Structure 1
Amino acid sequence: MGDARTPVIVGIGQFTENIGDSEYRAMSAVELAVEAAKAALADTGVDGAAVAKAIDTVIGLRPFDISSPIPPKLGASNNYPRSIMRRIGADPARAVLEPVGGQGPQKLVTEFGAAIANGDADVVMIVGSEAGSTARYYAGRDDKPDFTEQIDGQLEDRGHQLFSYISEYTIKHGLTGAPSQYGLLENARRARLGVSVADYRRQMAELFAPLSKIAAKNPFSSSPVEREVDEIVTVTDDNRMIADPYPRLLVARDQVNQGAAAVLMSVEAARRLGVPEDKWVYLHGHADMVEQQVLERADLGASPAAVHAAREALRVAGLGVDDIATLDLYSCFPFPVFVMCEALGIDGDDPRGLTLTGGLPYFGGPGNSYSLHAIAETVTQMRDRPGQFGFVGANGGIMSKYSVGIYSTAPAPWRADRSAELNAEIAALPKVAVTEVADGPATIETYSVRYDWPVRTGIIVGRLDADGSRFLATTKDEDLVGLMSDGDPIGARIVVKSTEKGNRARLA
């Protein structure tokens, strides 16, 4: 069925190895991706070698070890996508390396679905992997492997683009890890809702505990353990605080070895290669949204981009929320899930469930490629439920980019979305003025606390009394850190003083 140029997903593959497994090999990012790619080729139901030879475009999701200016400790390929292709007998004309961002997998399905529809590609593989477990395994050892590879061939390297999310100013103030970054957003949302610290932590645990039940049954899960609400809420040595308001069991599990891959092709290519039609899954709706820079957002506890992404993808698909059968909402922390539930008008206990994988803290959060696993699970579900619709929500940066895809076996023509127009609207939303060098009396707007430093440190987004502008500050002041760790500092009066190393705050 369908126009010859309509894109369809015809193969998906996943691979996970866990450190406790008897077969654990401490694989490289390339090796993990190869296992997933082989599985995706096999999943097409036809000769994998023929499909591999037909691949004209490969896009690699950037592994963490090459996602920053820091050189990879165990070495890496200079051409990640082509290293993978070489091992599966493929030699595509075009290889692309995508920038940092968890929205990447869904954004790429949309981008290269459009490329297929426009005749600019025919058979495409999207592949990603993360070898965080391997990095941890070798961290204290002398017998470190060298995963360096020099591969000739074209590569369209789009750059890591990490500094689209962070800046010298945010780094100076401790916003170098996702837990503290999302902690600011989470506490801003809590403040807007007027919920106490204890009640909000329980709400987060109630949202996430059901995800762990899915992870416990998923053969590709990195932590297949069912977690109870009280277990997630209670801080222990095993469930230590990472960054306020998150204990470990509310944080994406990034030290994983996981790979995923998807094969997209035109209907014409699928017919030519003999891929059975019951393997074909169509992208019915899609949207790719970009949020304002974090400190400029009027409400740090909201995400207009995520809301727009959900609504636009549903509009393109011609569907309502009630028409959706399965959901996988990006769950690095509770905040993105809360935001998307609000956008869709659903509750955390929606009977459809909020994940197909088991969520990033329990299934695993393999860097930039998690949502490729979500897409793989959705494709599997859609094949088992012909004609029904699956929703994938993929989030990147500091709630910075949000991409949505809606999938079904029901044939559908390729449809354009209005993402460019909507992104212009988001960019034009009112912005908050930021004062980088801040001095004087002020109020705490939102906050996080970093527990992973030698000295427990508070991170503050504040508003200056003088002009209402927003600033960042850190504090090691015992009274203020005590209030931030054990009380509720939102709205507390502080005094901020600028130094060469950043702004410092104390209780007024």
Structure 2
Amino acid sequence: MTDPTTVPVIIGVADIRSGRAGAPASPRDPLDLISQATIAALADTGIETIGSRVDTIYAVKTASWSYDDLPDLLAKRIGADSPRTWTSSIGGHWPTALLDRIGSEIADRSSSVTLLVGGEAQASLNALTKLGVDPTTRDWLAAPGGPPTFTSDDLGSPEMQRAGILAPTRVYPLFENRFSYDIGDSPQQSREYSARMYAQFSELAAAHPCAWMPTARTPEDIATSGPKNRLVSDAYPLTMNAMPFVDQAAAIVVCSLAAAIEFGVAKDRIVYLWGGAGATEFADVLARKDFGRSAALKSAVDRTLKQAEVTGGDLGIVDAYSCFPVVPKLLIQALGLPHSTVPSVLGGHSFFGGPLNSYTLHAIAEVTRLLRSTDVDVPALVHANGGYLTHQHTVLLSRNPHRNGYVGDPNPHEIPETGPPMLHGYVGDADIVTATIDFERDESPKSALIITVTDDGSRVAGHTDSNDAAALLRYTQGGARSLVGARISITDHDGRVAVSLKEEVQL
């Protein structure tokens, strides 16, 4: 029998929402939201003195406001006596990565009771900014802490900046369009697949008390562009893009099984953390070999399942980090599940809301609640994604313990740089590896982002002007065919490229 002092379990969860889309609440700072979620999660354990027993507090970094040491501020509010504290860097993978780390620390007895917290107040910050109000005049901490700061390096590598391949709304469509081509879907079929999935996501969000946009949508609503659902890229209209302007927070309480028994936690309130695995690809997207698959995601999933001795078909619940449709599609593929799978318990970033780095904390909370409500002996998988499909981490939770206790590997595997060499100043022919078109607010083509391969196997990447983008859009014949594989002539001027199709466009 596994020593209960080394078995990690979740005993308390909570998540909150302040206001919602179309119905804003009074502005609140992230620390206030996270404190409310934490107090609710501690209460969810049913143990009055649990706050004083917390020995470790991990925080997923808040992006909407800066704190030098949010966990320490939180410790003072809950009466925790000098706990170890740590705050992550930016990245949506951190909730599962930190949960796995907590499981490992409980397994080696270096921690007994741990809090994992996170939250965002971007909706509040935007509201105050529009009013011209300094948040510090509304009791938002200026020191330690203050407004967030970002640099161009946060958006992408120098090669990506040169090519104009920056920001999630531009990069993820490149993955989507290549993935769809590789599985044999036309752009139109790809959008229909995304819309069917996201319609089901919206139904989940409509039933969730913390969802930011709790309204069910039809596949037709989601797939069809228009004044309230403008095209952002050729792959995704607005409703398929993440909604980061939310006020949401979540907290998780994890301890050893021995501590849970000591506290008197009811058996039906305990959820077992089996463990997981993570992997990281090269941060420079243009240095990767493939755009239609994620080697990091495949590695994380395969190792998570292998360690636990289960398969994708054994899972009873699956939740994907759903910032854009290609991510849950890739997870479904990695698990070997059918396209009809609905890999969400929340509704994704578009409908539940996308509190940036802490989204998956809400998924962990909801999966815990779902597992508590069933006696079915099947594990649940929770997935998180950071960067541009850069960081991947998955964990398994279950109503029952794994026979080997904690079976995770919290240290991510590094996927080596595998892409071909980049060429600058190239003039000549090339084949499109992947491409996307982004649009102005009036839905006129703005530019095309293109990654190509030359005949000698080198890579050329860049962005076009609006005229070339319009020509490339016509080539797709309304989504009937993909730009991937098209033969073009390309001239690179420091990342700004001029292109012409070698095949005549059929109008």
TM-score (normalizing by structure 1):
0.88
CA deviations over 1:158-217 (Å, ceiling 9, x no partner):
x99995872122123333321211011111112223422222211111122111111111
CA distance 1:20–1:226, change in 2 (3 Å):
closer
Aligned residue runs from structure 1 range 262-273, under 5 A: 262-273=252-263
1:54 aligns with: 53
Amino acid of the structure 1 residue aligned with 2:46: G
Shift of 1:117: 1.3
Which structure 2 residues correspond to residues 150-299 of structure 1 after superposition, within 5 A?
150-151=143-144, 163=153, 166-292=156-282, 293-299=284-290
Shift of 1:62: 1.0
CA 1:374–1:462: 2 relative to 1, 3 Å: same
5 Å matches for 1:448-467?
448-451=436-439, 456-465=446-455, 467=456
Distance in 2 separating the partners of 1:20 and 1:320 = 38
Q: For 2:95 and 2:325, how far apart are their aligned partners in 1?
A: 20
Structure 1 residue identity aligned to 2:54: I
Task: Name which of 400, 405, 411 aligns with 1:414.
Answer: 405
Asked if residue 490 in structure 1 is aligned to residue 480 in structure 2, the reply is no
2:366 is the counterpart of 1:366: no
Deviations 1:202-236 (A, max 9, x none): 11111221111111111111111111111111101
Question: For the residues of structure 2 that align with 1:359 and 1:289, how far apart are their CA atoms?
Answer: 22
The 1:313/1:168 distance shift into structure 2, 3 A limit, reads same
Partner of 2:479: none
Between 1:191-200 and 1:258-267, the stretch displaced more is 191-200
Q: Residue in 2 aligned with 1:68?
A: none
Superimposed CA distance per residue, residues 318-346 of structure 1 (whole angstroms, 9 cap, x where no aligned partner): 22233221111121111111111111111
**Aligned equivalents of 1:199 and 1:117: distance in 2?**
46
1:156 aligned partner: none
Structure 1 residue 39 and structure 2 residue 33: aligned?
Answer: no
Distance in 2 between residues matched to 1:92 and 1:184, nearest whole Å = 46
Letter paired with 1:9: I
Alpha-carbon distance in structure 1 between the residues aligned to 2:357 and 2:151: 13
Partner residue in 2 for 1:355: 344
Gap change, CA 1:184 and 1:496, over 3 Å in 2: same
Contact 2:21 2:212 in 1 (8 A): no
Letter in 1 for 2:448: G
Contact 1:100/1:161 (<8 A) preserved: no
Distance in structure 2 (CA, Å) of the matches to 1:164 and 1:64: 12
Which residue identity does 2:500 align to in structure 1? L
The structure-2 alpha-carbon separation of the partners of 1:489 and 1:262, relative to structure 1 and needing over 3 Å to count, comes to same
Retained in 1: the 8 A contact 2:433–2:451? Answer: yes
Is contact 1:251-1:361 (8 Å) kept?
yes
Q: Give the stretch that moved more between structures: 432-441 or 97-106.
A: 432-441
- Kindly state the Cα deviation for residue 283 of structure 1 after the two structures are TM-superposed: 1.5
Letter in 1 for 2:202: S
Q: Does the 8 Å CA contact 2:21/2:213 hold for their aligned counterparts?
A: no
Q: Which residue of 1 aligns with 2:498?
A: 505
State whether residues 78 and 151 of structure 1, in contact with CA within 8 Å, keep that contact through their aligned partners in structure 2. yes
Task: Confirm or deny: 8 A CA contact 1:394 1:404 kept in the other structure.
Answer: yes
1:149 CA drift (Å)? 4.0
- Distance in 1 (CA, whole Å) between partners of 2:253 and 2:164 is 40
* Deviation, structure 1 residue 151: 4.7
* Residues 384, 92 of structure 1: alpha-carbon distance in 2 compared, 3 angstrom cutoff: farther
The structural deviation recorded for 1:357 is: 0.9
1:384 paired with 2:370, answer no
Normalising to structure 2: TM-score of the pair? 0.88
Aligned to 1:470: 459
CA contact (8 A) 2:160 2:286 kept: no
Counterpart of 1:64 in 2: which secondary structure?
Answer: coil
Letter in 2 for 1:130: E
User: Residue 262 of structure 2 aligns to a residue in which SS?
Assistant: helix
Cα 1:126–1:491 shift into 2, 3 Å:
same
Give the residue type in structure 1 aligned to 2:499.
Answer: R
Asked whether 1:106 is paired with 2:96, we answer: yes
State whether structure 2 residue 338 is matched by structure 1 residue 336. no
Structure 1: 5+ residue stretches without partners: 66-71, 153-158
SS at match of 1:395: strand
Structure 1 residue 464: Cα displacement? 2.7
Residue number in structure 2 paired with 1:400: 390
Distance in 2 (alpha carbons) for counterparts of 1:416 and 1:164:
33
SS at match of 2:348: coil
User: Matched residues in 1 for 2:226 and 2:20: separation?
Assistant: 23
Cα deviation digits, residues 84-118 of structure 1 (max 9, x gap):
33333334432111011111100101011101211
* Distance change >3 Å, CA 482–CA 89, structure 1 → 2: farther
* 1:432 aligned onto 2:423: no
- Equivalent of residue 470 in structure 2, options 481, 487, 490: 481
Measure the CA separation in 1 of the matches of 2:260 and 2:144.
Answer: 30
1:11–1:398 CA distance, 2 compared to 1 (3 A): same
**What do residues 269-323 of structure 1 show as CA deviations (whole Å, max 9, x unaligned)?**
3233333332221112411112244223322101122122222212222222332
- The CA distance in 1 between the partners of 2:130 and 2:22, in whole Å, is 20
Amino acid at match of 1:253: M
Structure 2: how far apart are the matches of 1:235 and 1:285? Answer: 41
Change over 3 Å in CA distance of 1:302–1:161 after alignment to 2: farther
Find the aligned partners of 1:134 and 1:164 in 2 and give their Cα distance.
23
> Which amino acid letter does the alignment assign opposite residue 367 of structure 2?
T
Assess, with a 3 A threshold, how the Cα gap between structure 1 residues 164 and 139 changes in structure 2: closer, same or farther. Answer: closer
Structure 2 gap segments, 5+ residues each: 477-481, 502-507
Q: Secondary structure at the match of 1:357?
A: coil
Q: Decide whether the 8 Å contact of 2:97 with 2:410 is kept in 1.
A: no
**Separation (CA, whole Å) in 1 of partners of 2:21 and 2:195:** 26
Residues 82 and 257 of structure 1: CA distance in aligned 2, closer, same or farther (over 3 Å): same
In structure 2, what is the equivalent of residue 69 of structure 1? Answer: none
